[in-house]
Chains A and B, each alone.
Chain A
Amino acid sequence: MSERNELDERALGALFAAARDVAPQPSDALVARILADAAAETAPAPAPRRSGPREWLSDWLEAIGGWPSAAGLVTATAAGVWLGLSSPELVSPFGLSATEFDLVDLVPGVQTGFGG
């Protein structure tokens, strides 16, 4: 291949410019497939959040673990309220009062040795 047969810089530039102007174009079907991929892969825009009592209750239930947790929580709360309202007389027969206690020597014959 001789020097004479090689294209110069200007001619090559004209060929590159022609290639830019007459570029292969993607088909409409390809564009449609790419748009379908975009729709499938990207999350939809979040809808504006409603804020009513129903949504608040739903969020609260979800946060504490659902209806079973809510039932347990209500029961525990009711028990606490009942204990709080009850008089000490009602509580002490069940041994729940912390104001009285007895000391019992379970093994009277054994000396601990402390204090001679």
Chain B
Amino acid sequence: MPLDALVDEPDDVLLARAAQGDARAAETLTHRLTPRVFAHASRVLGDRAEAEDVAQEAMLRLWRIAPKWRHGEAQVTTWLFRVTVNLCTDRLRRSRRNGPALDDVPEPPDPAPSGDAQLMKSRRAAALEAALLELPERQRQAVVLRHIEGLSNPEIAAAMDIGVEAVESLTARGKRKLAGILGQQRDELGFGDE
């Protein structure tokens, strides 16, 4: 089957094929899932090298469970985010910090030239990621999963092993805190006139 045809296959079908040694299915799944896992770990950990380690470990666990994967029992992405959330939590607890040291927080880029939408977008993304690192770890993971990765509340509940109400509480408190932190950069982020 050509690689293009695999792009439309669901995750669990690709995983089953990968488990049987289909390298193209594994490649398709890698390109589909790795960016999401890496981006989540990067935003939660605030450290690119650690995020790469987490992404590789999460994907390794996926390959190992592939032969035993029961079709239709769980979503591959939910399972993978659950592993990623736990790996991030472990790393943060091991380093005994809820956020990175101040030196590790990425500096927001210089103000974008007016009218340059792409630079403003980069600036906003960097400011948000820096603000996320100021949230408690559980709030940070829930907000990233809900508002950036776009998972539903039940999916987040499964990924974080908590109830849906707890997810709602974590995301609401996280957003309120973000609104306060980022409100101080209102002008730089292009919201000065609102």
Contact = CB atoms under 8 A, between A and B. Distances in A.
B42 A24 contact: yes
A15 B19 contact: no
A104 interface: no
B44 to A, nearest CB: 11
Contacts of A23: 35, 39, 125, 148
A41 B64 contact: yes
Contact of A26 (B18, B52, B182): B52
Nearest to A1: B180
Contact of B175 (A12, A19, A33, A38): A12
Contact-size category for A: 35 or more
B38 A30 contact: yes
By secondary structure, the B interface counts as helix
A6 B125 contact: no
Nearest to A27: B52
Interface stretch (B25-33, B74-82, B92-100, B158-166): B25-33
B194 interface: yes
Contacts of A7: 178-179, 182-183, 186, 191
B56 interface: yes
A96 interface: no
Contacts of A57: none
Contacts of A46: 20-21
A44 B18 CA distance: 9
B47 to A, nearest CB: 11
Interface string B166-194: 00000000011011101110100101001
Nearest to A2: B183
Contacts of A25: 35, 38-39
Interface in B1-56: 18-23, 26-27, 30-31, 34-35, 38-39, 42-43, 48, 51-52, 55-56
Contact of B184 (A5, A21, A31, A42): A5
B71 interface: no
Contact of B63 (A4, A19, A30, A41): A41
Interface in A13-50: 14-16, 18-27, 30-31, 33-35, 37-39, 41-46
B38 A12 contact: no
A37 B59 contact: yes
Given A12-B178, A43-B20, 18 more contacts: A5-B186, A6-B179, A7-B182, A7-B191, A10-B194, A12-B179, A20-B150, A22-B121, A22-B125, A25-B39, A26-B38, A34-B60, A37-B60, A37-B63, A38-B27, A38-B63, A42-B18, A43-B21
Interface of B: 18-23, 26-27, 30-31, 34-35, 38-39, 42-43, 48, 51-52, 55-56, 59-60, 63-64, 66-67, 120-122, 124-129, 147-148, 150, 175-176, 178-180, 182-184, 186, 189, 191, 194
